[in-house]
Amino acid sequence: MVQATTLPRNEAGIKAAIDVLKQRLGEQLQTGQAIREQHGHTTTWIANQAPDAVVFPTSTEEVAEIVKVCADYGVPVIPFGTGTSLEGHVNAPAGGICVDMMRMDKILTVHAEDLDVVVQPGVTREQLNTYLRDQGLFFPIDPGANASLGGMAATRASGTNAVRYGTMKDNVLALEAVMADGGVIRTAQRAKKSSAGYDMTRLLVGSEGTLGLITELTLRLQGIPEAIRSARCAFRSVDDACRAVMMTIQYGIQVARIEMLDTLSVQAANAYSSLSLPEMPLLLLEFHGSEAGVVEQADTFAQIAEDFGGFDIAATSTAEERNALWQARHDMYWACLQLRTDAKGISTDVCVPISRLAECVSSARAKAEDMGLLAPMVGHVGDGNFHALLLIDMESVDEREKADIYMAWLNELAIEMDGTCTGEHGIGQGKRPYLKRELGETTRYMAAIKAALDPENIMNPGKILEM
């Protein structure tokens, strides 16, 4: 594991806050070693930094009470959703109280005629879509993991559908949040647009719990398409696949998903999910629309793909076949771990303008091979975002150093290409060194906002910014 930076601890304040909260909330507050470690570490490669206690609120009022107590004693507050983040977002570098939102999991109101829904932050995306299915509606943001919607908003998540439906910032209409002083705010009404004041909704979306704790979300919904058609296409090289993606987007095809798997990823998917995909760079696509429309879109894509050497093109509208393909894509992390069973996966992501995508992916592939790293790659390539999963023996100092060098190089490459060091993983602890390189003087103003809203730096300290 990679050691994370530690921050000074307020031992007396932490003890006092735990005592007060234990008196008020009883068994909702837990201090057992196992549960604390579970909440200080998820699927990240960064070493575990456990909180001193975990509390399970059931209402906004309880969250506000927790934050007020922590503010009184100067104790850090770390929000927790389902634990699927990748960059050390839920670590507690200064100790403190972890606020687990799992019991705030109610779907409060569906406004079907307005295409929106109000939910608590512990509702997961799968839970919401199961609930909405009978009403002909769905929430399109799909990061792969069954993440909580509060966590998805806090990290500005996206995923496989982002190329058509956008990311969380495009699909959150309003938030309720508890701020650092324990005050409760609502950032907007349910109107689809507003020119009323600062856009506090988008300020909190992506703030990773460093400004406030999200306690309610109003989300934009979509109607379930009349028809859905999936397609796959193999290519001789990653470069050819990326160029086909670029032309597909430029041509204006309304693709809902367009995912790339490199050869290693396809091999892993075949073995893990019992598939027989051609073991070449592969594109997986999905089209939403009318019956005639999805067939036309798939056929147009096939013509474009053939111009870039695409072959073994297959399309289907059968739900079973579509679900098998996309389940295999969602299982890629676990599938790739089987390529080297003695290794741990270190997942990193970058995003570049789509015109630079082929160059960036090809360079990333070549660099990994030159360094002797096993690094299967997949990507939401319709918006220029891709992931490399480095399979590393964490007991090997040499391999860990190579992984650090590679990730630093890839982040710098993306930034040089007018891209970003993270398309969807977020900054957390792991990407902090690259934020100033990407945004420059902007980080000083971000720090000023943080200092104004959280002067004692109790809200998820040690994440995003160097304070």
Q: Please list the pLDDT of the chain residue by residue as tens digits (467 residues).
A: 566 788 999 999 999 999 999 999 999 999 999 999 999 976 777 889 999 999 999 999 999 999 999 999 999 999 999 999 989 999 999 999 999 999 999 999 999 999 999 999 999 999 999 999 999 999 999 988 899 999 999 999 998 999 999 999 999 999 999 999 999 999 999 999 999 999 999 999 999 999 999 999 999 999 999 999 999 999 999 999 999 999 999 999 989 999 999 999 999 999 999 999 999 999 999 999 999 999 999 999 999 999 999 999 999 999 999 999 999 998 999 999 999 999 999 999 999 999 999 999 999 999 999 999 999 999 999 999 999 999 999 899 999 999 999 999 999 999 999 999 999 999 999 999 999 999 999 999 999 999 999 999 999 999 999 87
CATH 3.30.70.2740 fits 335-424, yes or no: yes
> Which of these, 285, 374, 277, 388, lies nearest to 333 by C-alpha position?
388
pLDDT of 3 = 65
Domain 107-223 maps to which CATH number in 3.40.50.970, 3.30.465.10, 1.10.3470.10, 3.40.50.300?
3.30.465.10
Domain pair 107-223 / 227-333, same fold: no
Name the β-bridge partners of 459.
Answer: 77
pLDDT of 45 = 79
Give the three-state DSSP class for 349: strand
Cβ burial 419-458 (10 Å sphere, 16+ → b, else e): bbbbbbbbbbbbbbebbeebeeeebeebeeebeebbeebb
Domains of the chain, residue spans: 107-223, 227-333, 335-424
pLDDT of 369 = 96
pLDDT of 28 = 98
pLDDT of 154 = 97
Task: Please give the torsion angle defined by the CA atoms of residues 48, 49, 55 and 58, in that order, rounded to the nearest 10 degrees.
Answer: -60
CA 139 – CA 133 distance, rounded (Å)? 10
> Which of these, 95, 94, 132, lies nearest to 115 by C-alpha position?
132
Give the three-state DSSP class for 421: coil
**Token couple for 418:** 């007018």
In 169-241, DSSP assigns E strands to 172-179, 184-186, 212-220, 222-223, 227-234
Domain 227-333 maps to which CATH number in 3.40.50.1000, 3.10.310.30, 3.40.630.30, 3.30.70.2190?
3.30.70.2190
Q: Which residues contact 248 (CB under 8 A, 6 or more apart)?
A: 255, 258, 301, 304, 382
